[in-house]
Structure 1
Amino acid sequence: MTARSLAVLLDLDGTLVDTVPFILQSVGAAFEGRARRPSEAEWLAGIGQPLRVQLAPYATGPEDLDAILARYRAYQREHHDRMTRAFPGAVEAVRAVAAAGHRVGVVTGKLGDTAQRALELVGLAPFVQTVVAADSCPEHKPDPAPVLLALARLGRPATEALFLGDAPVDLQAGRAAGVTTVAALWGAASREVLLAHGPAHLLEDVSGLPALVARLAARSAAA
């Protein structure tokens, strides 16, 4: 019996790319000199959403939000390439998944050009067949729309797909889309927070991804 080719959907920040320290530095630069600003815990709890959505509660209005966003992005542009790195084993894991014939997609709250740049910098771009970013569709995680768009692009049904992410919004979006959800335990959210969202599987380290995908593919073929 031949195992089926699955759609393997992956979050980016905190799952494939270790950008959380950089993100927190960017937030600090965006809110420098301001009394009202998110705590580290508040910001980490919202990772995975589009940047504008995360920033909005701390702005006094649309113009102020634009100004905060501009400062954040200016800091990111200046330091992005130096601060962006893959988690150890991430490139090897995704390469192995792609080499096994599975279709790999990234579903991220980043803008498309920034996400593509990060994938290229760390060497993941050759193994990713589609990127659904914040500017790819009007709805965002935890809405299932980005996950469903990735499935449509990859030509796979939800029953033959998984979504690996380190944030509650990843698990919520994946579950709403009907895919198998996998919690990445090396990212920003704690095990307890992720367990509260009922992932189908827990992954302790990204190096375990190829073996998990192989098991799920074999199970799908036997169904």
Structure 2
Amino acid sequence: MIKALLFDFDGTLLNTNELIIQTFMHVLNERFPGQYSPQDCIKFIGPSLIETFEQITPNEVDEMVEKYREWNQAHHDELVTEYDGVITTLEQLKEQGIRLAIVSTKRRDTIQKGLNLMGANHLFEFLIGLDDVKNVKPHPEPVLLAIEKLGINKEETMMIGDNYHDIEAGKNAGVKTAGVAWSIQGEDFLRQYNPDYILQHMTDLLTIVKES
């Protein structure tokens, strides 16, 4: 029986895709004028900023991450949008006694900014972000830390996300996994990683939990 749901944040609970793409375009166009397109930036959604900039500008990682965060924070509220049914579904799950937490590769303060905007702080027991772990997803550490904090069994837990990092982290930690069909990467992309479930809509979780 599923008793706890661990959620990725970006692209899963809050639509930050446009914000992320525009932020990457801003910092990359400044550094590499005309060399990147919005389509190129889609592949940067999911990995941590450090991982991404280690590949692009290995000698300027800290500087690029700082520029990214500065622009991202300044434009956050104007560029994010909410997915249909997220808040109402989370409220129903919480009312049913399902325990909810966030496991993300973002910093805690940035996750908090998004939760504040959504009015969803009251729904989650805790957040696990970049600053809480040594190894980010797909390493199992963040998911295992969440299980430890919840004090429940792996068999009672599911990791939900919009990218392969989420599914792989869940599998590596030994929990059930679900991919979201509204991922910018596409449903077919996620299916390659064999999640236990694909959510077509957030409300699918209500059925999955009931039948588990």
Q: TM-score range by the shorter chain?
A: over 0.9
Calculate the TM-score normalised by the size of structure 2.
Answer: 0.93
Matched, 1:21 2:18: yes
- The count of residues paired between Structure 1 and Structure 2 equals 211
Is the 1:9–1:107 Cα contact (8 Å) retained in structure 2? yes
Local SS of the residue matching 2:13: coil
Structure 1: gaps spanning 5 or more residues? 217-223
Counterpart residue number, 2:133: 137
How far apart in 2 are the matches of 1:46 and 1:94? 27
> Counterpart of 1:192 in structure 2: which amino acid?
D
Matched, 1:59 2:57: yes
Alignment of 1:26-65 (within 5 A): 26-35=23-32, 39-61=37-59, 64-65=60-61
Task: Judge which range, 206-215 or 113-122, deviates more.
Answer: 206-215
Runs of 4+ in 1 over 6 A off after TM superposition: none
Is the 1:183–1:201 Cα contact (8 Å) retained in structure 2? yes
Is the 1:5–1:101 Cα contact (8 Å) retained in structure 2? no
Of 175, 179, 183 in structure 1, the residue corresponding to residue 179 of structure 2 is 183
Does the C-alpha gap of structure 1 residues 26 and 162 become closer, same or farther in structure 2, counting only changes over 3 Å? same
Does the C-alpha gap of structure 1 residues 100 and 28 become closer, same or farther in structure 2, counting only changes over 3 Å? same
How far apart in 1 are the matches of 2:107 and 2:135? 13
Is the 1:84–1:122 Cα contact (8 Å) retained in structure 2? no
Query: Aligned-pair distance for 1:34?
Result: 2.9
- CA deviation profile, 1:175-194 (whole Å, cap 9, x unmatched): 11111111101012222211
> Counterpart of 1:51 in structure 2: which amino acid?
L
Structure 2: gaps spanning 5 or more residues? none
Matched, 1:149 2:145: yes
Counterpart residue number, 1:93: 89
Is the 1:107–1:146 Cα contact (8 Å) retained in structure 2? yes
Query: Aligned-pair distance for 1:41?
Result: 4.5
> Counterpart of 2:12 in structure 1: which amino acid?
T
Query: Aligned-pair distance for 1:150?
Result: 0.8
Query: Aligned-pair distance for 1:115?
Result: 0.5
Local SS of the residue matching 2:142: helix
Provide the aligned C-alpha RMSD in A.
1.7
How far apart in 2 are the matches of 1:5 and 1:178? 13
How far apart in 1 are the matches of 2:64 and 2:169? 27
- CA deviation profile, 1:89-127 (whole Å, cap 9, x unmatched): 111111111111011011111101111121121022110
How far apart in 1 are the matches of 2:78 and 2:159? 28
Calculate the TM-score normalised by the size of structure 1.
Answer: 0.88
Does the C-alpha gap of structure 1 residues 168 and 211 become closer, same or farther in structure 2, counting only changes over 3 Å? same
Is the 1:7–1:162 Cα contact (8 Å) retained in structure 2? yes
Query: Aligned-pair distance for 1:42?
Result: 4.7
Counterpart residue number, 1:208: 204
